[in-house]
Structure 1
Amino acid sequence: MQIYLDISRLCRRLLQKERPTGVDRVSLAYVRHYQDNALAVLSENGVHVILSKANSLRAFDWLLTQSAANTGRLRWLIGQAILASGFSPTPAPGILLHTAHSGVESPRYFRSLRRKGIRVAFMVHDLIPLTHAEYARPDTPARHARRIDTVLNHAAGIIANSGATLTSVVDYARSTGAPMPPTVTARLAPAITYRGEISHDPVGAPFFLMLGTIEPRKNHWLMLHIWRRLVELRGADAPMLVIVGRRGWECENVIDMLERCSELRGFVIEKPDCDDEYLYQLLQHARALLFPSFVEGYGMPLAEALALSVPVLASDLAVFREIAGDIPDYLDPLDGNGWLDRIQNYAAAPCTARDEQLARIKRFNEPTWTQHFEAVDNFLPTLG
C-alpha cells in the first residue's frame, strides 16, 4: 500500500522559520516513521502536488533537520514540484495521512485524491473550537466545523489522539447526522526527545513551570493572580513561575499583568522561545508542572512531565485522567484558593504530597511512538 504524507503545514512553518508546535511534532513523527516508503504531498486552497520519490526524500530530510539553511532548498524544491506537476504520472492507489488540521476545510482537495484512488486517514487533535467556542478566535469555530465536516464526509478513517477527542467527534457526527467513518485511538508520545544528563538549575531558585501558548483556555490569568498573592504573602521567599510559550490570541489581560504588574517582576519569567534542551533542564528542576487548563484535546506537557518524573498539578479533566490516571494532583481550574494552597505546599522542601506523587509516577505508563504506530499500522489495512 502506497503511503502519502501531507507536509504542507510543516513546509510552511519551516519557510516562516517558526519553531514546531505540538501538532507539528506529531506530523514530524509521522514523517520519521514513514519516510522510507512514503511520497510527500503539498496542498494549498484545495490544489495539491505529489512529489517524486527523490524529492519526497529530500523534503522529509530537510523537515526532520529543521535547519534554517534548508529553507532556500525547500522553496526551490516546491517550485520545481509545481512546474513538473502537469507531467507527473498517475499516482498509485494508496492512502494519504493528514495529521494537521490546516487545509482540511477544503473538500476539493480530497475529492481530487479520491478520483485518483487515494483514500485519506485524518488525525483529529481536538474539537475545542466547537465545544468551547469562547476560547477560539472569532472566525475559528466556523472554519473548524468545515474541517470536521470534511473529515466525516471524506475520511476512509479517523485517527484520534485520545478517547476524549473521539467522544467529541462521535457526538458532533450524531448532532449533524454525518456518517461516522472507522476510527482508532492512538495516544501521542512525549514530544521532547532530548534526554541528556541533569544539568545545573537554569533558574537558581524554587520554581514552577507552565508550558503552552498563552491563550485564554490555558488559564494563565488565574496563575498570575495566584503568584501576585504568593508575593504578597511570602515576599522574597515566594517561588518563581516560568512560563514557556508564545503569546497567542485574546490574552490582553494576561499580557497586561506580565508587562504592568510590578509585584510580579522578578518572580515571573516569560520564555516565548525555548529549545528542547533548555526545556528539559527546566522540567528536571521544577517543583511541578502547572496545567490549569479549562479544556484540552490531549495535553502533551502532562505526558512529557510525567515521563521525566516531574510532578504535575493539573485541572481535573477527563483526558488528563485518561493519560495519567490518579498520578497527578488534580484541582478544579476555578479553585484559586486550592491552587494557591497546593503550590505553597509543593514549594516547600520537604513536601509529603510531592514525595507521594513522585512515588506514584513510577507506575506511569508512558505513551510511545512505537505503540502509536502499531495501532495506526494495524488500522490502515482495514480501510478498504
Structure 2
Amino acid sequence: MTLDITRLLLRRRHATPTGIDRLELAYARALLAARDRPVAFEAWVPGVGACGYARAALEVLLPEIEARWAAGEASGIALSGLRLRQPRDGEVRLLVSHHHLAELERRHRPEAKTCVYIHDAIPADFPEYARPGGAEKHERRLRNAAALADAILVNSHATAASLDRFLQARRPPLLVAPLGVEPRRAAVAPEAQDRPYFLCLGTIEPRKNHLLLLHIWRNLAGEAGAPRLILVGRRGWENENVVDMLERSPAIRELVVEAGRVGDARLGGLVAGACAVLMPSFAEGFGLPVAEALAAGVPVIASDLPALRETGGSVPDYLDPLDGPGWTQAIRDYAAPGSVPRAAQFERLKSWQPPSWDAHFAAVLPFLDNL
C-alpha cells in the first residue's frame, strides 16, 4: 500500500491545517504504525513524477508538523530523501486529498490499484460558491475518479449521494468513512473572555454564510450585554461584502473579532469557552467543526443540511441558513443566563459518540485489503 503525501508535504509550510490536512496526517500516522503490512509513501514532484519518501524521514517530519500546527506556526523543516519510484504490481495507491485528481489520468498506473478519498462534490453541485474555474476542475476530478479509481472512500452518506450522477456508467466499490476527532482536542481549558461569545470556524467564503452572522450581530449591537462573535479562519474568495462589514461597520467593531488562523492549542480553548459553535453554511460534505465542538462538550447551532445532521445526529439545533430571525432568536436564547435550549442540548449530548480514527481505520484497512 502506498499513501500519497504530496499535500501534507506542501502544507507543512502552513501554520494551521484544514480538515483535509488532518485526514492526510491521520492516514500517514496510521500507516506508519501499521508495522504488520508493507507500506510506502510518495509525493508527486512536477516534471519528475512519483517520488518515494522514506519512512524514517516521515517519522521525524510528522511530530514536527503536529507541534507546529498546535502552536500555529509554519514548519520550516527541509525535505530530503525523495527518490523516483515505480509502483509495484498489484499495490494499492491511496490518494486521500483532491490534490491530483484533476490530472489522475496522468498518474494512473494499470499495474496498481488506485483508491481515492472524495470529500465533497460542492464546487460541481454549487458552482456559484466556487472560485472561477473551480466547478469545471472539480467536475474533472470526480469524472476521473469515477472512470479510473478502483475504489472510492467518502466522508459521509451525503457525499456518497452527491456522487451518484458521476457513477452511472461505472461504480467502483465505495465506503463511507467519516473523519475522526483528535482525542487531544476533546478536553481543553476554556479561553477567558469578558462576555459570552459564539464561535464560527471556517474559511471566510460565501458558502459558509458569514454574512448572515454579521447582519445578526449588527442588530444585536444595540442590545445591553450582547454576546461576542469570534471568527476563526482565513479570508477566502468572493467575500467582498463580508470584508466590507468587518472593516467598515463601526456597529460590529466591538462585538465581532476576526481571529484569522489560530493554532490548535488556542482553538481548543476558544471552542471550550463558547456558548455554541455556529455553522450556518449553505453546503457541506461532512462538518468537522460540528464533530469537534460536540466532542469537546460544546453545543452547536447549525444549518439543516444532510451532512451536518449525519455528523451531529439529534444533538445540535438546526435552522435554515436563510432564517435570519430564527438564528437571531437562537443566539439570544443560548447567550442568556440559565439558557433552557442550551441546557437541553447538553442533555442530548450525553448520548452522542464522536467519530474516532480507530473506527475509521478499522473499516478502511480491511476494505483496502480486499481490493
The TM-score normalised by the length of structure 2 is 0.92
Shift of residue 47 of structure 1? 5.5
Shift of residue 194 of structure 1? 3.2
Say yes or no: does 1:362 pair with 2:361. no
Shift of residue 42 of structure 1? 1.1
Count of aligned pairs: 361
**SS at 1:262's partner residue?**
coil
What code does the residue aligned with 2:170 have? P
Aligned-partner Cα distance in 2 for 1:216–1:209: 17
Shift of residue 308 of structure 1? 1.1
Say yes or no: does 1:190 pair with 2:181. yes
For residues 237-316 of structure 1, what are the structure 2 equivalents within 5 Å?
237-316=225-304
Say yes or no: does 1:180 pair with 2:171. yes
The equivalent of 1:328 in structure 2 is: 316
What code does the residue aligned with 2:58 have? A
**SS at 1:65's partner residue?**
helix
What code does the residue aligned with 1:187 have? P
What code does the residue aligned with 2:126 have? H
For residues 90-109 of structure 1, what are the structure 2 equivalents within 5 Å?
91=88, 93-109=90-106
Deviates more, 1:239-248 or 1:29-38: 29-38
Aligned-partner Cα distance in 2 for 1:185–1:89: 29
Greater helix content: 1
Alignment counterpart, residue 377 of structure 1, candidates 351, 365, 369: 365
Contact 1:213/1:245 (<8 A) preserved: yes
Contact 1:291/1:313 (<8 A) preserved: yes
Deviations, residues 235-294 of structure 1 (Å, cap 9, x unaligned)? 4x1100000000001011101111110001110111112111111111111000101000
Deviations, residues 322-375 of structure 1 (Å, cap 9, x unaligned)? 122211111110000010111011110111111001000011121100111111
Gaps in structure 2 of 5+ consecutive residues? none
Alignment counterpart, residue 11 of structure 1, candidates 1, 9, 12: 9
**Identical-residue share of aligned pairs (%):** 40
**SS at 1:365's partner residue?**
coil
**SS at 1:40's partner residue?**
strand
Alignment counterpart, residue 339 of structure 1, candidates 327, 348, 357: 327
For residues 126-141 of structure 1, what are the structure 2 equivalents within 5 Å?
126-141=120-135
What code does the residue aligned with 1:317 have? L
What code does the residue aligned with 1:189 have? G
**Over aligned residues, Cα RMSD in angstroms?**
1.9
Contact 1:316/1:330 (<8 A) preserved: yes
Change (3 A) 1:45 1:132: farther
The equivalent of 2:62 in structure 1 is: 63
What code does the residue aligned with 1:96 have? R
Alignment counterpart, residue 216 of structure 2, candidates 221, 226, 230: 226
Say yes or no: does 1:210 pair with 2:200. yes
Shift of residue 173 of structure 1? 2.3
Aligned-partner Cα distance in 2 for 1:330–1:339: 9
Contact 2:188/2:272 (<8 A) preserved: no
Change (3 A) 1:358 1:89: closer
Contact 1:46/1:109 (<8 A) preserved: no
**SS at 1:214's partner residue?**
coil
The TM-score normalised by the length of structure 1 is 0.89
What code does the residue aligned with 2:9 have? C
